[in-house]
Amino acid sequence: MDETSLRLLPPLRAAWAPVGQQASVAVSGRNDHASLFCALNLHSGRRVTLRRARQRQGDFQAFLRRLRHGRPVHDRLYLLIDCHSSHTAKASLRLARELNFILFWLPKQCPRLNPVEHLWRALKADVAANRQFASIEETLRYAENWIQRLSPQQTFRKAGLLSPKYWLHKVSKNF
Protein backbone atom coordinates (compact mmCIF):
# COMPACT_ATOMS: atom_id res chain seq x y z
CA MET A 1 0.00 0.00 0.00
CA ASP A 2 1.01 3.57 -0.46
CA GLU A 3 -0.38 7.05 -0.81
CA THR A 4 0.42 9.90 -3.12
CA SER A 5 -0.13 13.61 -3.02
CA LEU A 6 -1.94 15.09 -5.99
CA ARG A 7 -1.82 18.79 -6.74
CA LEU A 8 -4.21 20.98 -8.62
CA LEU A 9 -1.38 22.61 -10.57
CA PRO A 10 0.00 19.97 -12.93
CA PRO A 11 3.64 18.96 -13.04
CA LEU A 12 5.03 20.39 -16.25
CA ARG A 13 6.72 17.56 -18.16
CA ALA A 14 7.15 19.14 -21.58
CA ALA A 15 5.95 22.11 -23.57
CA TRP A 16 6.49 22.88 -27.22
CA ALA A 17 7.06 26.32 -28.66
CA PRO A 18 8.82 27.78 -31.69
CA VAL A 19 12.56 28.21 -31.23
CA GLY A 20 13.26 31.44 -29.36
CA GLN A 21 9.73 31.79 -27.96
CA GLN A 22 8.54 31.05 -24.46
CA ALA A 23 6.01 28.17 -24.25
CA SER A 24 2.65 29.21 -22.86
CA VAL A 25 1.09 26.95 -20.22
CA ALA A 26 -2.34 27.94 -18.91
CA VAL A 27 -2.72 27.40 -15.16
CA SER A 28 -5.06 28.96 -12.65
CA GLY A 29 -2.37 30.34 -10.33
CA ARG A 30 -3.93 28.67 -7.28
CA ASN A 31 -2.72 25.35 -5.97
CA ASP A 32 -4.42 22.81 -3.78
CA HIS A 33 -3.50 19.28 -2.85
CA ALA A 34 -5.04 16.07 -1.54
CA SER A 35 -4.00 12.44 -1.09
CA LEU A 36 -4.99 9.21 -2.71
CA PHE A 37 -4.36 5.96 -0.83
CA CYS A 38 -4.10 2.64 -2.65
CA ALA A 39 -3.54 -0.96 -1.65
CA LEU A 40 -2.81 -3.63 -4.25
CA ASN A 41 -3.56 -7.32 -3.80
CA LEU A 42 -0.48 -9.07 -5.18
CA HIS A 43 -2.43 -12.19 -6.12
CA SER A 44 -5.64 -10.84 -7.67
CA GLY A 45 -4.61 -7.36 -8.79
CA ARG A 46 -7.56 -5.86 -6.91
CA ARG A 47 -7.03 -2.26 -5.82
CA VAL A 48 -8.61 -0.55 -2.82
CA THR A 49 -8.44 3.23 -2.88
CA LEU A 50 -9.42 6.08 -0.60
CA ARG A 51 -9.44 9.80 -1.32
CA ARG A 52 -8.46 12.07 1.55
CA ALA A 53 -7.71 15.75 2.04
CA ARG A 54 -4.43 14.97 3.79
CA GLN A 55 -1.87 12.31 4.46
CA ARG A 56 -1.88 12.26 8.24
CA GLN A 57 -2.22 9.46 10.75
CA GLY A 58 -6.03 9.85 10.94
CA ASP A 59 -6.19 9.48 7.16
CA PHE A 60 -4.01 6.38 7.23
CA GLN A 61 -6.16 4.93 10.01
CA ALA A 62 -9.29 5.56 7.92
CA PHE A 63 -7.61 3.64 5.11
CA LEU A 64 -6.84 0.71 7.44
CA ARG A 65 -10.52 0.62 8.39
CA ARG A 66 -11.49 0.72 4.70
CA LEU A 67 -9.19 -2.22 3.96
CA ARG A 68 -10.66 -4.21 6.84
CA HIS A 69 -14.30 -3.35 6.02
CA GLY A 70 -16.34 -6.44 5.20
CA ARG A 71 -13.56 -8.85 6.13
CA PRO A 72 -13.55 -10.83 9.38
CA VAL A 73 -11.05 -9.44 11.89
CA HIS A 74 -9.68 -12.93 12.57
CA ASP A 75 -8.38 -13.04 8.94
CA ARG A 76 -4.90 -11.56 8.81
CA LEU A 77 -4.18 -8.91 6.21
CA TYR A 78 -0.59 -8.30 5.17
CA LEU A 79 0.62 -4.83 4.24
CA LEU A 80 3.91 -3.88 2.67
CA ILE A 81 4.40 -0.36 3.95
CA ASP A 82 6.94 2.45 4.12
CA CYS A 83 8.03 4.33 7.23
CA HIS A 84 5.94 7.47 6.69
CA SER A 85 5.18 9.14 10.02
CA SER A 86 1.44 8.48 9.61
CA HIS A 87 2.21 4.75 9.43
CA THR A 88 4.58 4.66 12.39
CA ALA A 89 2.41 6.76 14.75
CA LYS A 90 1.54 4.85 17.93
CA ALA A 91 -2.20 5.15 17.30
CA SER A 92 -1.76 3.78 13.76
CA LEU A 93 0.29 0.83 14.98
CA ARG A 94 -2.25 0.11 17.72
CA LEU A 95 -5.13 0.17 15.22
CA ALA A 96 -3.22 -2.07 12.81
CA ARG A 97 -2.79 -4.62 15.63
CA GLU A 98 -6.46 -4.37 16.63
CA LEU A 99 -7.54 -4.93 13.01
CA ASN A 100 -5.13 -7.89 12.66
CA PHE A 101 -2.80 -6.37 10.06
CA ILE A 102 0.68 -7.79 9.72
CA LEU A 103 2.96 -4.93 8.63
CA PHE A 104 6.08 -5.51 6.55
CA TRP A 105 8.30 -2.45 6.57
CA LEU A 106 10.15 -1.32 3.48
CA PRO A 107 13.64 0.12 3.95
CA LYS A 108 13.73 3.90 4.17
CA GLN A 109 14.26 5.78 0.92
CA CYS A 110 13.51 2.74 -1.28
CA PRO A 111 10.29 3.62 -3.12
CA ARG A 112 11.26 1.40 -6.07
CA LEU A 113 10.56 -1.63 -3.87
CA ASN A 114 6.89 -0.69 -3.49
CA PRO A 115 4.77 -1.76 -6.48
CA VAL A 116 2.16 0.93 -5.76
CA GLU A 117 4.86 3.59 -6.25
CA HIS A 118 5.17 2.36 -9.85
CA LEU A 119 1.40 2.80 -10.28
CA TRP A 120 1.72 6.39 -9.06
CA ARG A 121 4.46 7.09 -11.59
CA ALA A 122 2.30 5.72 -14.43
CA LEU A 123 -0.74 7.60 -13.13
CA LYS A 124 1.06 10.92 -12.99
CA ALA A 125 2.67 10.43 -16.39
CA ASP A 126 -0.62 9.49 -18.08
CA VAL A 127 -3.11 11.63 -16.19
CA ALA A 128 -1.61 14.53 -14.31
CA ALA A 129 1.24 15.84 -16.45
CA ASN A 130 0.51 18.99 -18.42
CA ARG A 131 -3.17 19.00 -17.48
CA GLN A 132 -5.10 21.03 -14.95
CA PHE A 133 -8.49 20.02 -13.59
CA ALA A 134 -11.12 22.48 -12.38
CA SER A 135 -10.76 21.38 -8.75
CA ILE A 136 -8.70 19.09 -6.54
CA GLU A 137 -11.81 16.93 -6.07
CA GLU A 138 -12.01 16.43 -9.84
CA THR A 139 -8.29 15.56 -9.88
CA LEU A 140 -8.77 12.96 -7.14
CA ARG A 141 -11.86 11.47 -8.79
CA TYR A 142 -10.09 11.17 -12.12
CA ALA A 143 -6.98 9.62 -10.54
CA GLU A 144 -9.00 7.12 -8.51
CA ASN A 145 -11.00 6.12 -11.60
CA TRP A 146 -7.78 5.71 -13.57
CA ILE A 147 -6.43 3.31 -10.94
CA GLN A 148 -9.70 1.38 -10.65
CA ARG A 149 -10.23 1.05 -14.42
CA LEU A 150 -6.96 -0.82 -14.91
CA SER A 151 -7.36 -4.52 -15.52
CA PRO A 152 -5.40 -6.81 -13.21
CA GLN A 153 -2.97 -7.47 -16.08
CA GLN A 154 -2.45 -3.73 -16.70
CA THR A 155 -2.03 -3.18 -12.97
CA PHE A 156 0.63 -5.88 -12.68
CA ARG A 157 2.44 -4.53 -15.76
CA LYS A 158 2.48 -0.93 -14.54
CA ALA A 159 3.47 -2.01 -11.01
CA GLY A 160 6.40 -4.04 -12.38
CA LEU A 161 5.02 -7.30 -11.03
CA LEU A 162 5.15 -9.16 -14.36
CA SER A 163 8.93 -9.28 -14.28
CA PRO A 164 10.03 -12.75 -13.15
CA LYS A 165 12.92 -11.08 -11.31
CA TYR A 166 10.74 -8.75 -9.22
CA TRP A 167 11.78 -9.17 -5.60
CA LEU A 168 8.25 -9.67 -4.22
CA HIS A 169 7.66 -12.92 -6.13
CA LYS A 170 9.82 -14.87 -3.71
CA VAL A 171 8.26 -13.28 -0.64
CA SER A 172 4.59 -13.33 -1.69
CA LYS A 173 4.53 -17.10 -2.19
CA ASN A 174 4.52 -17.41 1.61
CA PHE A 175 1.18 -15.57 1.99
- Give DSSP secondary structure letters for 122-154: HHIIIIITT---SSHHHHHHHHHHHHHHS-HHH
52 against 174, higher pLDDT: 52
Mean pLDDT computed over every residue of the chain: 89
Give the model's pLDDT for residue 18: 87
Length of the chain: 175
pLDDT digits (tens, 9 = 90+) for 102-116: 999 999 988 889 999
Q: How far apart are CA 50 and CA 107, in angstroms?
A: 24
User: How far is C-alpha 43 from the chain's CA centre?
Assistant: 18
In this structure, whether the domain defined by 33-172 belongs to CATH 3.30.420.10 is answered with yes
pLDDT digits (tens, 9 = 90+) for 54-65: 999 999 999 999
Amino acid at 172: S
How many other CB atoms sit within 10 Å of the CB of residue 76?
A: 11
Q: How far apart are CA 73 and CA 99, in angstroms?
A: 6
